[in-house]
Structure 1
Amino acid sequence: MEIKPEELVANNYTLLASLEHHNIIPFVRTYIKKKTRFATIYYISNIIPLLLLFFFSYKYYNTPGFTIINCINHFCYGLAIAIALVPLHEYIHVLAYKSQGAKQTSYDSNIKKFYFMAIADQFVANRKEFQIVALAPFVCISSVLIVLLFFAAPSWNYTIIGILFTHTACCSGDFTLLSFFDFHKDKTVVTYDDKKNKISYFFEK
């Protein structure tokens, strides 16, 4: 949006909520449980890899070389690879922010609380812009993984499913924020990040 944070009040916006980055977990727990479209999509997206896991196990059960241990090992490889994809995930967020007009982008993380985030300092994003930013890594990475399922060797299908499952679970923060917007769909909601104070603000009109 072509509006600065300090101009929001003058344009009839009022503060709806603020989110301190170090206190993101209670926010996630609250809004990922709301009955919104994006909360539903998140839960369904977590179920799909498990269904794929059962499907491929059934498909390959009687093939030579199939063992449960081998499947578990390859699935665990996927868990580890998914964690290594975190920088790529956040970089896609940044690219999406830049595509919407953000100029000052950066990253923040807290290993102890296991959260990572891309920040667009002082960039005011409306609902549509934020949806693009929030969904970009999930859509891009999930799409590539699903395509790879059609080309990978049987054992490596479990690795891909492990990546898909873990990456989807790690998108909880993105879907929580989308759920927040959806929960307030009767309002015109915008958001921006304050990098210095590590707070995200949500304004409504």
Structure 2
Amino acid sequence: MSPELLKNNRHYKNMLSIVDSSEWLLFIATFIRRKNLVTKIYGVYLLIGLFGVCYLFFNYELIAIESRLWIVGITGGLLISLLISPVLHELIHSLAFKYYGAKSIRFKWNWNLFRFNVQANDFVLSKRKYYLICGFTFILFSILPFILAFFADRILLFTLLSLSFFHALYAMKDLAVCSYLYKFPNCFIYSSEENKTVFYKSIP
């Protein structure tokens, strides 16, 4: 759907507009705690991650590994999740936006949200497509490293576990949006040229 058709279609209603970082912080804090399928899956993933770490700890005798290897591995995963995976995460988003018809895309680092952001200008994305994009990046940078950790050893094991956990925190904004959209069967996200994000839903 084109931006003009969405904004001028009386069958779609503007539900919410978000402009700055403070509004995003409130949005994330509110909807990441909502009880729905999205947040339940997120909670289950974190719980599985906790049990997985406990399993690795006792069965791989991680306590016997030198502390410096723990420090190097966990720090390495943190640095990757701060400096590399955010760029790749948002690059995948931008390529998907381009594929779905975005004409102009801007990149910037947001210090308040402590994340690398991509903004498609005057672009509409459906709920289903947004779910696909967010699901792909979450699997790639959180679930896959966690699975690979079971086949790794020493520093690489800690690095993969650290990356998996810290990217799950980074992806909280995407998951909060998915949580917000969950209860609306037919809805769209509109990114304006003024760096504003607007959510639309269909009305009878």
Q: Deviations over 1:92-124 (max 9, x none)?
A: 111222232323222233124313322221111
Equivalent residue number for residue 194 of structure 1: 192
Range moving further from structure 2, 25-34 or 54-63: 54-63
Q: After the TM superposition, list the runs of 4 or more consecutive aligned residues in structure 1 that deviate by more than 6 angstroms.
A: none
Question: In the alignment, which residue of structure 1 is the partner of 2:178?
Answer: 178
Q: 2:127–2:188: 8 Å Cα contact kept in structure 1?
A: yes
Q: Please tell me whether residue 91 in structure 1 is matched to residue 91 in structure 2.
A: yes
Q: Which residue of structure 1 aligns with residue 17 of structure 2?
A: 18
| Residues 120-159 of structure 1, C-alpha deviations (whole Å, 9 max, x = no match) | 2111111111112222321222354245325422332111
RMSD (Å), alpha carbons: 2.3
TM-score of the aligned structures, taking structure 1 as reference length: 0.85
Paired residues for 1:125-136 under 5 Å: 125-136=125-136
Alpha-carbon distance in 2 for matches of 1:117, 1:8: 24
Aligned residue in 1 for 2:30: 30
Cα distance in 2 for residues equivalent to 1:158 and 1:25: 30
Aligned residues: 200
Question: Are 2:73 and 2:156, in contact at CA under 8 Å, matched by a contact in 1?
Answer: yes
8 A Cα contact 2:15 2:199, kept in partner: yes
The residue type paired with residue 134 of structure 1 is C
TM-score scaled by structure 2?
A: 0.86
Where 1:102 maps in the other structure, the secondary structure is: coil
Task: Give me the whole-angstrom Cα distance separating, in 1, the residues matched to 2:138 and 2:74.
Answer: 19
Over the matched positions of the two proteins, sequence identity in percent amounts to 22
Match of residue 79 from structure 2: 80
